[in-house]
Chains A and B, each alone.
Chain A
Amino acid sequence: MGDQKSEVLQGTLDLMVLKTLYAMGPLHGFGIARRIEQVSEGVLDLNEGTVYTALLRLQQQGWIKSEWGTSENNRRARFYTITKQGTRQLEREAENWERVAGVIEKVLRLERQG
């Protein structure tokens, strides 16, 4: 593996999963992983199992809910949907992230003085 990959930052996976569900509608775990992979264009080194940890965490907070459905190859799969509370949480988190990202960007742009 020659090309460089970035690790998923602590806590950002939840946000990514939430946003994906918001944008794409009901998805199963595999679908979420594919979507994130697609969006990140192979830059993120995602341990796909951790998606399920994020899903459980979000579900326990009441931000997403799940129901059983049928996957592409006609097998049982669990589909996750964002809840109203989840949508509100996503707005808050996204705003927060942008603020933090903005600060980090500014800090990184600082020129060396003296």
Chain B
Amino acid sequence: MLNLRTLWARLKGQTAQRREDEALDEEIREHLALLEDRFVAQGMSAREASRAARRQFGNVTGLKERQRAMRGFLSPSEWWQDIRFGARMLAKRPFSNAAVVVALALGIGMNAAVFTFVNALLLRPPQQVRETNQLVEVWLHNPKSNGVQSYYPFDFPDYVYYRDHTKSLEGLMAFDGDGTEAIWNRHGTGEIVHGQLVSGNLFSLLGVKAAMGRTLVQDDDNQGSTRQVVVLSYPFWKQKLNGDSSVVGRTMMLDGAAFTVAGVAPAGFTGLLIATSPDFWAPLTVQDRFTHDSSRMKEHSFWLIVAGKMRDTTDRKSVQSEMHVLSKQAIQMHQSKSDPRKGTAGSDEDLLDAMVYPLTLVPGPFRGYVGAFTGGLLAVFAMVLLIACTNAASLLLARSTGRSREMATRSALGAGRARLMRQMLVESLMLAGIAGAAGIAVAWATSRLLVQLKPASIPLTLAIPMDWRVVLFTAAISVATGVVFGMAPALRASAVKAAQVLKEEAQTMGRRKARVRNVLVVAQMATCVVLLAGAALCVRSLMNANAIDAGFDTHHIALATLDVGSLGYKPEKVNDFYGRLLERVQQLPGVRSASYAHFLPLGTSRTSMSVGKQLGKDPNAMTVDVYQVGHGLLQTMGMPLLRGRDLTEKEAESDKPDALVINETLAQRLWPGEDPVGKRLFLDGDDKTTSEVVGVVKNGKYHTLGEGPMAVVFRGSLPPRRTLVVRTQGDSRTVLDALRHEVPIVDPLMAATDVQTIEEYMALPLFPARTVGWLLAVSGLMAVVMTAIGLFGVIAYMVSQRTHEIGVRMALGARRSDVLRLVIGQGVRLTIIGLGIGLCGAVGAARVLTPVLYGIGANDPGTMCAVAVGLAAIAMLACYLPARRAMQVEPSVALRYE
């Protein structure tokens, strides 16, 4: 029995193995000497006495082994011995071991790659920030709603209220989660830079010290007296300003306003939000210099992500209850201020609760989704690793049967059961260790490859460093892997019955041994079916998604985003700029047509308004997406008009648009069975307008490719920020450079951003399906190859073990086809059982996938059949190769072999 005291004694003994070894040697020597003295005194000769003493004492080597094993858990010298021996055994079979290592390395590597993302998204704290465990984030929550949509960032007045009234928090900071694009006027040319608006207390609360100059302070952020100051990021300062040490105090022209450089942030600090790395930070109160939107400082404009630092004396629970109280007070404040005539009283946005989360780089409300997504991927690759483990276990089992004589010999020479087991475990752990090291490399390469799947158009920089957490995780799964696949062979080796094995000249295959490997193959096959079905469903849905009609052309279109608003031009000058640019672009070679839109369908930003057939209380009123477009956009984008006409140039440019184009769905909802052209529609936006429907356009996809029909409106009155849409004759890539080139010719202060083809633009809506599809395809492929190898191994082994029997059968008149049937039959049995179990599992697992599938049922019978048939075919091939060898057995040779 191993109780606590013994455990402790062993732990201590572990450290003193060598000294104890010597002590025991001395004791044994002394004991033998005393025995010999005694026998000599009884009249024996020295030689007789020595022999008698040894007989009486018993097996010295065995005793030493036993003592050593009892004393501790590991003896360093023995471990070294095991490792050297293990290395020799591994080197003996370089090819099969390399195969095992490669399979395990891929399995471990893919898991580590996914974990790298889990780490970067969920585990890594914000860098360069002190006391991260004291930080919390606060989100407004609409208790009447659920899901991600029920969470709101703060509006400015609410932030100020919470900031000024909290007691449990040392301070409450806020930043703009969306980031800000600004044009940096540098020696007369415009360059796009990315900024983040932050509250003045953010740097001090996070304990971030400036690398040079100072960070932002509270006084920079006073609403009454705004200071136009910025703090530069370290990489921006290094790369764009060449690390100029005299930058502090200088002036930078950003969006036409002069900002003073207060300082440079420390290297590594990128703020509190995942995937953003701003070039500069500016105080919240100067936001309208960048957004030109003063309503952002008012109520109901939710854009501030809010975080706080807890006092040492509080915990998250008490912060949560305080925030709850503050939210009640805020509601009262809203209600006392509200004006019933404006109809804002009692709106959901005035009744928000506040929720507290620990601060991580992924905002609290989304953490669950990110966790579920990455967790799902980890589960998939854990299955791949399990298949790889099964293969390794199967191979080592076969080998351990071959090594039973070695084990028996060692056991006869005094090696204990534990010792033999350890030897086998050391060998599998060595395999796993090599695989783990290689797995790190695989993970490194894979995670970089995956980041490249991210569409280039989104200005996100995802840092996926491989820090100690990733290394620790990889080491842990490697060890776990080694133990898992090494356990069965180790138990087998240690259970060897020395006398029996050594006596028997011929080695016979135990039925039990075969059974364990058969079970492994069946498990492997079943896991493979589950994985493959999932992978096939996702890949098919990906193909469907690519084929989905987005309602506009997804080829031969080039895009560029422009924002003259940042230059503070008057409306006439804005229109002049866009008019001249359009003229020049239309003249470019290869351009068929060009137009402008505010936002495009399937983008990340959109505008929505309430529409109805009559003003005021309208039972038919509904909220629809409104796309502000220029004349000719519908045709340029390839959105076919079903009825009526496009907006004229005059209608599109007028401030009060009285003409609209609607889509099929809206037409059917408002005027079922009627011709909507000529009808009037009321838009309830910031200005209440009525407009005439002049055309109906074909339905498209607007939010996601998987959505059902949605009602949308196209109208004119483009804002200063526009997307230039260019239809080209051939490959749209050829005009991208020309577009970039044309913009500064028309206005040297302007720069086009997001210059891209429509294919690149479509990468974003396709991104989730692409990543999942890619990963699952890889996992499925790995699973199939490994399963085929596993089955091949088992059948080949069976053939080699039964060569003699097959020879006898053939000598007795069995035909080759009989032999083939015998061997294949074995494989078929295993395959059918595996496929059966696997299909049941796959049907269950496919349910989980339903939300990410496009245009395909989770239990798509075609896919399931294809998987089953395909896998069966591969399994048959894996069986056929060894079966062919069995057929070629020469009876005379096989019989003589005995």
Instruction: Enumerate chain B residues within 8 angstroms of A76, measured Cβ to Cβ.
Output: 26, 30
**A98 at the binding interface (Cβ < 8 Å):** no
Q: Sorted from nearest, which 7 A-B pairs have the closest CB atoms?
A: A47-B58, A60-B9, A49-B58, A49-B63, A30-B34, A30-B31, A48-B57
Knowing that A52-B63, A60-B9 touch, tell me 15 more A-B residue pairs with CB under 8 angstroms: A29-B31, A47-B58, A48-B31, A49-B28, A52-B24, A52-B27, A53-B70, A59-B9, A60-B5, A60-B13, A60-B70, A61-B9, A62-B5, A71-B30, A75-B30
Instruction: Please tell me which one of the listed residues A28, A48, A53, A71 contacts residue B67 in the complex, with CB atoms under 8 A apart.
Output: A53
Q: With A and B bound together, what is the CA distance between A28 and B13 in angstroms? A: 20
Q: With A and B bound together, what is the CA distance between A48 and B27 in angstroms? A: 12
Interface residue ranges of B38-93 to A (CB < 8 Å): 56-60, 62-63, 66-67, 70-71
Instruction: Enumerate chain A residues within 8 angstroms of B62, measured Cβ to Cβ.
Output: 49
Contact call B30/A77, Cβ cutoff below 8 A: yes
Given the known interface contacts A47-B58, A49-B58, the answer about A29 and B9 at a Cβ–Cβ threshold of 8 Å is: no
Give per-residue flags for A55-77: 1 if the beta carbon is below 8 A from chain B beta carbons, else 0.
01101111000000001110111
Size bracket, chain B contacts: 20 to 34
**A50 at the binding interface (Cβ < 8 Å):** yes
Instruction: Enumerate chain B residues within 8 angstroms of A61, measured Cβ to Cβ.
Output: 3, 5-6, 9
A29, A47, A49: which has the most chain B beta carbons within 10 Å? A49
**B35 at the binding interface (Cβ < 8 Å):** yes
Main secondary structure of the interface of B (DSSP, over half): helix
Instruction: Enumerate chain B residues within 8 angstroms of A29, measured Cβ to Cβ.
Output: 27, 31
**A78 at the binding interface (Cβ < 8 Å):** yes
Instruction: Please tell me which one of the listed residues A30, A48, A71 contacts residue B58 in the complex, with CB atoms under 8 A apart.
Output: A48
CB<8 Å pairs between A and B, sample of 11:
A30-B30, A30-B34, A47-B57, A48-B56, A49-B57, A49-B58, A49-B59, A60-B6, A60-B13, A60-B70, A75-B30
Give per-residue flags for B1-15: 1 if the beta carbon is below 8 A from chain A beta carbons, else 0.
001011001100100
**B843 at the binding interface (Cβ < 8 Å):** no
B5, B34, B70: which has the most chain A beta carbons within 10 Å? B34
Instruction: Enumerate chain B residues within 8 angstroms of A49, measured Cβ to Cβ.
Output: 28, 57-60, 62-63
| Chain A residue total in the interface (Cβ 8 A) | 23
**A33 at the binding interface (Cβ < 8 Å):** yes
Q: With A and B bound together, what is the CA distance between A76 and B6 in angstroms? A: 27
**B21 at the binding interface (Cβ < 8 Å):** no
Closest to A46 in B: B56
Instruction: Please tell me which one of the listed residues B10, B28, B57 contacts residue A60 in the complex, with CB atoms under 8 A apart.
Output: B10
Instruction: Enumerate chain A residues within 8 angstroms of B67, measured Cβ to Cβ.
Output: 52-53, 56
Residues of chain A at the chain B interface (Cβ within 8 Å): 28-30, 33, 47-50, 52-53, 56-57, 59-62, 71-73, 75-78
Q: With A and B bound together, what is the CA distance between A72 and B28 in angstroms? A: 15
Contact call B63/A53, Cβ cutoff below 8 A: yes
Instruction: Please tell me which one of the listed residues A57, A62, A72, A77 contacts residue B70 in the complex, with CB atoms under 8 A apart.
Output: A57
Closest to B13 in A: A60
Contact call A73/B37, Cβ cutoff below 8 A: yes
Q: With A and B bound together, what is the CA distance between A48 and B52 in angstroms? A: 12
Closest to A55 in B: B27
Instruction: Enumerate chain B residues within 8 angstroms of A48, measured Cβ to Cβ.
Output: 31, 35, 56-58
Q: Quote the shortest CB–CB distance from B325 to chain A (angstroms).
A: 58
Instruction: Please tell me which one of the listed residues B31, B35, B59, B71 contacts residue A56 in the complex, with CB atoms under 8 A apart.
Output: B71
**B297 at the binding interface (Cβ < 8 Å):** no
Instruction: Enumerate chain A residues within 8 angstroms of B57, measured Cβ to Cβ.
Output: 47-49
Contact call B58/A53, Cβ cutoff below 8 A: no
**B23 at the binding interface (Cβ < 8 Å):** yes
Closest to B34 in A: A30
Closest to B9 in A: A60
Q: With A and B bound together, what is the CA distance between A29 and B60 in angstroms? A: 14
Closest to A48 in B: B57
Q: With A and B bound together, what is the CA distance between A34 and B60 in angstroms? A: 18
**B828 at the binding interface (Cβ < 8 Å):** no
Q: With A and B bound together, what is the CA distance between A48 and B13 in angstroms? A: 23
Instruction: Enumerate chain A residues within 8 angstroms of B27, measured Cβ to Cβ.
Output: 28-29, 52, 77-78
Q: With A and B bound together, what is the CA distance between A92 and B167 in angstroms? A: 63
Instruction: Please tell me which one of the listed residues A52, A56, A62 contacts residue B28 in the complex, with CB atoms under 8 A apart.
Output: A52
Instruction: Enumerate chain A residues within 8 angstroms of B56, measured Cβ to Cβ.
Output: 48
**B33 at the binding interface (Cβ < 8 Å):** yes
Contact call A73/B31, Cβ cutoff below 8 A: no
Instruction: Enumerate chain A residues within 8 angstroms of B35, measured Cβ to Cβ.
Output: 30, 48
Instruction: Please tell me which one of the listed residues B13, B23, B58 contacts residue A78 in the complex, with CB atoms under 8 A apart.
Output: B23
Q: With A and B bound together, what is the CA distance between A62 and B24 in angstroms? A: 18
Q: With A and B bound together, what is the CA distance between A53 and B60 in angstroms? A: 11
Q: Quote the shortest CB–CB distance from A4 to chain B (angstroms).
A: 18
Instruction: Enumerate chain B residues within 8 angstroms of A53, measured Cβ to Cβ.
Output: 63, 66-67, 70
Q: With A and B bound together, what is the CA distance between A50 and B66 in angstroms? A: 10
Instruction: Enumerate chain B residues within 8 angstroms of A30, measured Cβ to Cβ.
Output: 30-31, 34-35
Contact call B9/A73, Cβ cutoff below 8 A: no
Q: With A and B bound together, what is the CA distance between A72 and B31 in angstroms? A: 11
Instruction: Enumerate chain A residues within 8 angstroms of B37, measured Cβ to Cβ.
Output: 73
Q: With A and B bound together, what is the CA distance between A71 and B35 in angstroms? A: 13
Q: With A and B bound together, what is the CA distance between A76 and B31 in angstroms? A: 11
Q: Quote the shortest CB–CB distance from A109 to chain B (angstroms).
A: 32
Closest to A85 in B: B5
Instruction: Enumerate chain B residues within 8 angstroms of A60, measured Cβ to Cβ.
Output: 5-6, 9-10, 13, 70
Contact call B5/A28, Cβ cutoff below 8 A: no
Interface residue ranges of B538-556 to A (CB < 8 Å): none
Q: Quote the shortest CB–CB distance from A14 to chain B (angstroms).
A: 12
Q: With A and B bound together, what is the CA distance between A76 and B30 in angstroms? A: 8
Q: With A and B bound together, what is the CA distance between A47 and B35 in angstroms? A: 13
Q: Quote the shortest CB–CB distance from B13 to chain A (angstroms).
A: 8
Q: With A and B bound together, what is the CA distance between A22 and B74 in angstroms? A: 33
Closest to A68 in B: B23
Q: Quote the shortest CB–CB distance from B22 to chain A (angstroms).
A: 11
Closest to A37 in B: B56
Instruction: Enumerate chain A residues within 8 angstroms of B31, measured Cβ to Cβ.
Output: 28-30, 33, 48
Q: Quote the shortest CB–CB distance from A36 to chain B (angstroms).
A: 12
Q: Quote the shortest CB–CB distance from B48 to chain A (angstroms).
A: 16
Q: With A and B bound together, what is the CA distance between A30 and B30 in angstroms? A: 8
Q: With A and B bound together, what is the CA distance between A4 and B60 in angstroms? A: 25
Closest to B1 in A: A61
Closest to A33 in B: B31
Closest to B6 in A: A60
Q: Quote the shortest CB–CB distance from B831 to chain A (angstroms).
A: 49
Q: With A and B bound together, what is the CA distance between A96 and B633 in angstroms? A: 98
Q: Quote the shortest CB–CB distance from A29 to chain B (angstroms).
A: 6
Q: With A and B bound together, what is the CA distance between A71 and B29 in angstroms? A: 12
Q: With A and B bound together, what is the CA distance between A72 and B41 in angstroms? A: 15
Q: Quote the shortest CB–CB distance from A113 to chain B (angstroms).
A: 39
Q: With A and B bound together, what is the CA distance between A28 and B35 in angstroms? A: 13
Given the known interface contacts A57-B70, A61-B5, A61-B6, the answer about A50 and B58 at a Cβ–Cβ threshold of 8 Å is: yes
Q: Quote the shortest CB–CB distance from B414 to chain A (angstroms).
A: 12
